[in-house]
Amino acid sequence: MKDTTEKKTDFDLLAHRVLSGGTITRGEAAAVLRSDDDELLAVLQAAFRVRVRHFGRRVRLHVIENAKSGMCSENCRYCGQSADASGVPVYPLKSVDEILADAHEASQAGAYRYCIVTSGRAPSTAELARLCEALRRIRAELPIHTCASLGLLTAAQAHELKNAGLDRYNHNLETSARFFPTTCTAHTYADRLATTRVVKEAGLELCSGGLFGMGETVDDRVALAFALKEAGSDAVPVNFLNPRPTTVLAEQPRLKPAECLRILAMLRLVLPDREVRVAGGREVCLGAMQPLALFAADSIFTRGYLTTPGQGIAQDRTMITEAGFILAGIDH
Ligand code: SF4
């Protein structure tokens, strides 16, 4: 039986402290995650107050797409593109014109940012040269911001991308340092942190977030939030595991909607002025509660998640406006 004398966390007070320039502790972040369903609206209200301060009711749409797919040498257990999985389209790096056409389509659909993704541990010299050429053309020809997610980077590669006009680089920490070795052994958490550092040092914005629902604990989730804060992540994509049938995590149960919402709220309170983006697994894990995610998050991926489809851009737009939020244009 639950101890009813247990002291409840005052989420309103947490929001007030964050809005006054203070921070929440790891213990308080854990309390957000451990709160019960009766407290869900109080948790979301606290996150919403902070969200509104920094982002108003604005929602930005991001489109993410593979420029190279499958047959990755790495063994990330959750990923359908790893060498250990199968069943996803496999193709080498697209041509500059093909990447440009994809970005054009995203721009036409009203996306604020286009993220070019390549499977693999790290880009080769030839791949990077082609990607830089595509980025130069996108910058010159399209009204859209850019992001790239190409795996581990050296400092020289980060500078090359910056010089080609890239705005932002994505490299997720995914989970805590403690839990990471159970998700991947082909590279280390230190490798990932090193890439986040070279991205920041090159003057690129850092997009780094995680994947929740792989069997990690509440403390792992809190540790990830604080690691992202320490790494200076400017944008935090929040993925909820949608177990892929050919991966090792195929049998992992999906997170419940309320659990997803508590994770988003916790991240908003730990990283008050950073973009928090609902990413993969949004539709399948949040279900009918999807619109509530916008009370903590300020952006979403639309049109799918590399190897899994989304509900579609028309439905995303309707969801945003019907929930009382405002679709941001390219200048907002
Ligand atoms: S490095 Fe990227 S593409 Fe390769 S298995 Fe890991 S997550 Fe998938």
Q: What is the pLDDT of residues 101-148, one digit of tens each?
A: 999 999 988 889 999 999 999 999 999 999 999 999 999 999 999 999
CB 115 within 8 A of CB 66: no
Question: From the alpha carbon of 72, which atom of ligand 1 is closest?
Answer: 4
- Round to whole Å and give the CA distance between 311 and 217: 29
Whole-number pLDDT of residue 331: 62
Helices (H) and strands (E) in the chain, counts: 11, 10
Q: What is the pLDDT of residue 330?
A: 61
| pLDDT at residue 231 in the model | 98
**Mean pLDDT to the nearest integer, 247-252:** 85
Closest CA to 294 of 255, 321, 256: 321
Helix (H, G, I), strand (E, B) or coil at 187: coil
Q: Would you state the pLDDT for residue 5?
A: 55
- What share of the chain has pLDDT > 90, as a percent? 80
Q: What is the mean pLDDT of the chain?
A: 93
58 alpha carbon – ligand 1 mean position (Å): 31
pLDDT tens for each residue of 164-209:
999 999 999 999 999 999 999 999 999 999 999 999 999 999 999 9
Above 70 in pLDDT, residue 1? no
Tell whether domain 11-327 is in CATH 3.20.20.70: yes
Confidence at residue 302, expressed as pLDDT on a 0 to 100 scale = 87
Predicted local distance difference test score (pLDDT) of residue 121? 94
Q: How far apart (Å, rounded) are the C-alpha atoms in residues 66 and 117?
A: 5
How much is the pLDDT for 26?
98
Residue identifier of the C-alpha nearest atom 5 of ligand 1: 82
% of the chain surpassing 70 pLDDT = 97
Residue of 71, 78, 119, 175 with the most ligand 1 atoms within 8 Å of its CB, for mutation: 119
Going by C-alpha positions, the residue among 55, 50, 66, 64 that lies closest to residue 16 is 50
Cβ < 6 Å from ligand 1: which residues?
72, 74, 76, 79, 81-82, 119, 121, 151
Token representation of residue 229: 């804060």
Looking at per-residue confidence, does 88 or 123 come out higher? Answer: 123
Which residue ranges make up each domain of the chain? 11-327
User: Residue 81: its pLDDT value, please?
Assistant: 83
Phi then psi for 197, rounded to 5 degrees?
Answer: -70, -45
Name the maximum alpha-carbon separation found in the chain.
64
Q: pTM for the whole thing?
A: 0.94
Reported as a pLDDT band with limits 50, 70 and 90, residue 77 is confident
User: Ligand 1 mean position to 173 CA, how many Å?
Assistant: 12
pLDDT tens-place string over residues 300-318: 998 777 777 778 888 999 9
